[in-house]
Chains A and B, each alone.
Chain A
Amino acid sequence: MEPLLEVKGLQKHFPIHSGAFRKVVGHVRAVDGIDLTVYPGETLGIVGESGCGKSTTGRTILRLLEPTGGEVLFNGQDLAKLKKEEMRQVRKDIQMVFQDPYASLNPRKTIKQILLESLEVHNIGTKQERMQIIEEIIQVVGLQKEHLNRHPHNFSGGQRQRIGIARALVLKPKLIIADEPVSALDVSIQSQILNLLKDLKRDFNLTLIFISHDLSVVKHICDRVAVMYLGRVVEIADKRTLFENPSHPYTKALLSAVPQANPKAKRERIILTGDLPSPANPPSGCTFHPRCQHATEECKKVAPQLQDIGGGQLVSCHLYKELFSSQH
């Protein structure tokens, strides 16, 4: 199958300024060369802990942040090279759902204005047609027409997130990037939104990139999952393989760290020592080596590459063979 989106060697470095003349003294390597492929109709999850670069990846793909390097091929076009106006046209096809339902809606606009804006800026339909579209969409996300004339502050967090999803849907995009769409919501509301996303994906034949720190949520909603650590992808696999047979030591530790709502479940937990290193000054070699219990001399010196270990599973670890075989 032809991929819908192909990310090749994507980088986003933020300069660190210092001194009176704001000299650049270094770079935060928020995203440091990642490759991703997204196929039509699938949901790709990107997981990782705070500071791993997962949100930056989403925003750089959309060029809400300008990439430092790499290619973003969407329908064969390199988004990273598009001119501003060309990129603006492409935005019709790629939409975003944001994390904070309180900050992502302009408090001074009505829901109608918020939803109409997308159609207006792309000159879609006549006035009546536009109204028809947004009246339809607002019902699709589980709200009513009457809600259109209200302002965001009249809605609860869950309802606001529905509005945020409606905004993303209005232009009938081919790809939606959802950046932590449920992490600001209470658990009982979280499940409403997750179910809605599943329904929409089926009904609108959407392709989704789902960025989250919550492994259980990612497992629930995604088809394939990429695990990020310090600006790089350390493992990608389809959901079942990743959760049943994680191959990167970081993925294993991450999975074992999730508390489970079952007091009788006894699992072996891998407690990682130390904290996430700073992306401004990443460790040499494999960036995970200072926290990895298996690290060797090679890991300290040579950065591993993502390699296919079969079944569409890609792992970036020198030791996957030894670790992999010890599992079976």
Chain B
Amino acid sequence: MSDILQVQQLRTRFKTDQGKVSVVDGVDFSIRQGETLGVVGESGCGKSMTSLSIMRLLPQNGSTEGKITFEGKDLLSLSEKDMQKIRGNEIAMIFQEPMTSLNPLHTVGRQIEEAVLLHRKVTKEEAKKRAIDMLKAVGMPRPEEIYGEYPHQLSGGMRQRVMIAMAMACDPKLIIADEPTTALDVTIQAQILELMQKLKEQTGTSIMLITHDLGVVAEMCDRVIVMYAGQVVEEAEINQLFESPKHPYTIGLMNSVPELDEEREYLETIPGSVPLAHQMPSGCRFAPRCSKAMPICSEKQPDLLDLGGQKCRCWLYAEVNE
């Protein structure tokens, strides 16, 4: 299968009071046609900034270096006008907060139509039909009525369905979903995840799923990258990752989450907290919190090593490669 998106040496910086700060620092990954790639990490690991860099939706004080290739086009060198043709059309986004990402003054139908009218040569009637079809596709009851309703009339789960309908309206080749179910209750989350899975099977679109929840990853993804402090620390196929996680951070993360199907007296913990963007350790960024840290870890940054399909940024595996 060919790659639909390739990200190479992505570096995103912000101008702040403390000077220029890197929030994404040399990130490499690719997404294949029709696959769901999970991007896992805790707050501040750069996972959301990576997605905003791809969409070129960074705030004013942010800047991006590196190469982002989407279907042969280098997104970072496109003109703003060409980029607009891609946004919402070929790459669509679903955000965490369905309340703030829908315009409260416009009807649900109008917001779905908007993208269609913008990117497709269709009449108003065709756009309306498309919007209603999409509402049907995302499992909304009474789609014709919902079409004319406003976001505040809908529940959180319904709004997230509308967001998905908007994202899917132009048949995008890639959907970037940033914590799409984090704001939802578990029973509603289950509905939304099932819906996303179903739509993906029907349309064959690729999904980049950003989440902090390993359970959601296990259920949805084909491949996963784990991010820590602005870098990719591990990349693996889903089964590989859960069967033999390599990076001490990944292992720590997995062991610190309580699971329904197991009984443990104590959870493992990762001591300390994530380093701040302007105070990054000089060696491995995880070294100060790592129980397996060696002298070299605080001196030199490890590379993302290829361990035969699975990749890991850790000195523990350096000899294996040499």
Contact = CB atoms under 8 A, between A and B. Distances in A.
Interface of A: 49-50, 156, 158-159, 186-192, 194-195, 198, 213, 215-217, 219-220, 243, 253-265, 269, 271-273, 275-276
A190 B43 CA distance: 13
Most chain B beta-carbon contacts within 10 A, residue among A158, A194, A261, A265: A261
Contacts of B261: 260, 262, 265
Contacts, number: 122
Contacts of B264: 220
Given A194-B258, A216-B257, A263 B219 contact: yes
A83 B238 CA distance: 59
Interface string B263-283: 011111111011000000000
Interface of B: 42-43, 155, 157-158, 185-191, 193-194, 212-219, 238-239, 242, 252-254, 256-261, 264-271, 273-274
Nearest to A240: B263
A236 to B, nearest CB: 18
B253 A187 contact: yes
Contacts of B194: 269, 271
Contact of A188 (B188, B258, B270): B270
B215 A258 contact: yes
Contact of A261 (B217, B252, B267): B217
A229 to B, nearest CB: 10
A259 B216 CA distance: 6
> Which 7 residue pairs are nearest across A and B when measured between Cβ atoms?
A259-B215, A191-B256, A220-B258, A49-B185, A191-B267, A257-B190, A261-B214
A188 B274 CA distance: 10
Given A156-B273, A188-B253, A259-B213, A217 B258 contact: yes
Given A260-B260, A262-B261, 11 more contacts: A187-B214, A188-B270, A215-B260, A216-B257, A216-B259, A219-B260, A259-B189, A259-B190, A261-B218, A271-B187, A272-B190
Contacts of A275: 155, 157-158, 188
17 contacts: A49-B185, A158-B273, A186-B274, A187-B214, A190-B257, A191-B267, A194-B258, A220-B258, A260-B261, A261-B214, A261-B215, A261-B257, A263-B242, A265-B218, A271-B194, A272-B191, A273-B191
A130 B213 CA distance: 42
A249 to B, nearest CB: 12
B185 A261 contact: no
Contacts of B265: 198
A186 B189 CA distance: 19
Given A49-B185, A198-B266, A263-B242, A255 B256 contact: no
Contact of B257 (A191, A195, A198, A213): A191
Contacts of B155: 275-276
Contacts of A219: 258, 260
A75 B218 CA distance: 46
A213 B186 contact: yes
Nearest to B194: A271
B259 A261 contact: yes
Nearest to B221: A263
A109 to B, nearest CB: 23
Contacts of A215: 186, 260
B197 to A, nearest CB: 11
A220 B274 CA distance: 25
A272 to B, nearest CB: 5
B42 A188 contact: yes
A22 to B, nearest CB: 22
B258 A271 contact: no
Contact of A187 (B42, B238, B239): B42
A36 to B, nearest CB: 22
Give the interface centre of A195, A219, A262 by most chain B CB atoms within 10 Å. Answer: A262
Of the candidates A215, A255, A263, A271, the one having the most CB atoms from chain B within 10 angstroms of its own CB is: A263
Nearest to A291: B187
A198 B269 CA distance: 14
B256 A190 contact: yes
A219 B265 CA distance: 11
B193 A187 contact: no
Given A195-B267, A216-B260, A275-B157, A261 B254 contact: yes
Nearest to A269: B190
A243 B262 CA distance: 11
Q: Among B155, B185, B260, which residue has the most Cβ atoms of chain A within 10 A?
A: B260
A186 B193 CA distance: 22
B239 A264 contact: yes
Q: Please indicate which of the listed interface residues A159, A186, A189, A190 has the most CB atoms of chain B within 10 Å of its own CB.
A: A186
A262 B261 CA distance: 10
A271 B190 CA distance: 7
Contacts of B218: 259-263, 265
Contacts of A198: 265-266
A217 B264 CA distance: 11
Contacts of A194: 258, 267
Nearest to B258: A220
B207 to A, nearest CB: 15
